[in-house]
Amino acid sequence: MSKQYAERTADPDRPETITYGIFSAGPAQDDLRGQARGGQMSGMTKLSTAAAEFWIAKPQIDQLPWLPITGDVVVLTARSGQPSYAISRVTTSDLGDLTLILVQEDEIA
């Protein structure tokens, strides 16, 4: 279970599990539009960000003992250093697959 500004604790009702999916990370760009009304703001400010997502197909979802939720941690065990990401949003499609929107977790020393 995860709450903002609180240390993460394990949820005994939702133990660790392994699944397969497609991880995608890359640069992204967001517009800062503020409270503009009417037409677009002239000289719009752009914010460079990084987007990370993990896509899970329906056959893999059907094998999970529970569905991922916001705050869960995804650890990329096949990557060097096994980076971890927190789920900030879960989206579904009409095909039954899931896309997990991720944020990289800070390393704790």
- CB of 90 within 8 A of CB of 70? yes
Indicate whether this model's pTM tops 0.85. Answer: no
| Band of residue 27 on the pLDDT scale cut at 50, 70, 90 | confident
pLDDT of 5: 60
Has residue 80 got a pLDDT over 60?
Answer: yes
| pLDDT averaged over every residue in the chain | 81
More confident: 9 or 70: 70
| Band of residue 64 on the pLDDT scale cut at 50, 70, 90 | very high
More confident: 30 or 90: 90
In 10 A of CB 69, how many CB atoms?
13
Mean predicted confidence (pLDDT) in 53-63: 95
SS3 73: strand
